[in-house]
């Protein structure tokens, strides 16, 4: 995982297994929102084996680029690894998204996390180590659910979805 200075410049690396702790350093990640041809969003439920926010509903997938890996390549790689999907039309929607959140166990997420949107025409085949469930949802219905029960969703989804809707990306 690429470690970052406050200004976003790379300052080193750590193995992924050592990054997420109660004092997580700022690092590089990404989020991806996958749409089908009908405009529905692929919503996933994080595996119960995940270290942070296990069992929580979230965006299609997230990940960390390898050091020196192009971001779009990392997004495509994670799409295949986590959901068995080949992405088309991968585009950067929110380049400078950053957040810090602490889950119930005390583990911290502290990321500069560019947000991408992509499309697929097909059915996911989720990796159970990453995703326990998935569903195609109407974005308006998801926004309504987040308004009434934000605790059921990842904190980054709660923040990112309204931004993507404002930009007309979803």
Would strands 30-35 and 115-119 be described as parallel, antiparallel, or unpaired?
A: parallel
Q: Which residues form the catalytic set?
A: 62, 111
Are 114 and 71 spatial neighbours (Cβ–Cβ below 8 Å)? yes
Cα 49 from Cα 1, distance rounded (Å): 20
- Residue burial 45-54, b: 16+ Cβ < 10 Å; e: rest: bbbeebebbe
Question: Positive or negative CA dihedral for 152, 156, 160, 162?
Answer: positive
Are 44 and 133 spatial neighbours (Cβ–Cβ below 8 Å)? yes
Would strands 131-137 and 88-94 be described as parallel, antiparallel, or unpaired?
A: unpaired
Are 86 and 120 spatial neighbours (Cβ–Cβ below 8 Å)? yes
């Amino acid at each position: 995982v690429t470690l970052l200075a406050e200004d976003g410049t790379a300052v080193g690396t750590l193995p992924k297994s050592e990054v997420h702790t109660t004092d997580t350093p700022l690092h590089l990640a990404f989020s991806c929102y996958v749409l089908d041809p009908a405009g529905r969003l692929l919503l996933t439920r994080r595996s119960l084996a995940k270290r942070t926010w296990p069992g929580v509903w979230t965006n299609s997938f997230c990940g960390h680029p390898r050091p020196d890996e192009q971001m779009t390549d990392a997004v495509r790689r994670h799409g295949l690894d986590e959901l068995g999907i080949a992405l088309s039309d991968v585009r950067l929607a929110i380049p400078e998204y950053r957040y810090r959140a602490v889950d119930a166990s005390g583990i911290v997420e502290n990321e500069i996390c560019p947000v991408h949107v992509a499309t697929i025409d097909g059915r996911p085949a989720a990796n159970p180590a990453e995703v326990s469930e998935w569903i195609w949802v109407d974005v308006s219905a998801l926004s309504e659910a987040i308004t009434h029960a934000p605790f059921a969703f990842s904190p980054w989804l709660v923040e990112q979805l309204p931004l993507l809707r404002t930009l007309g990306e979803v």
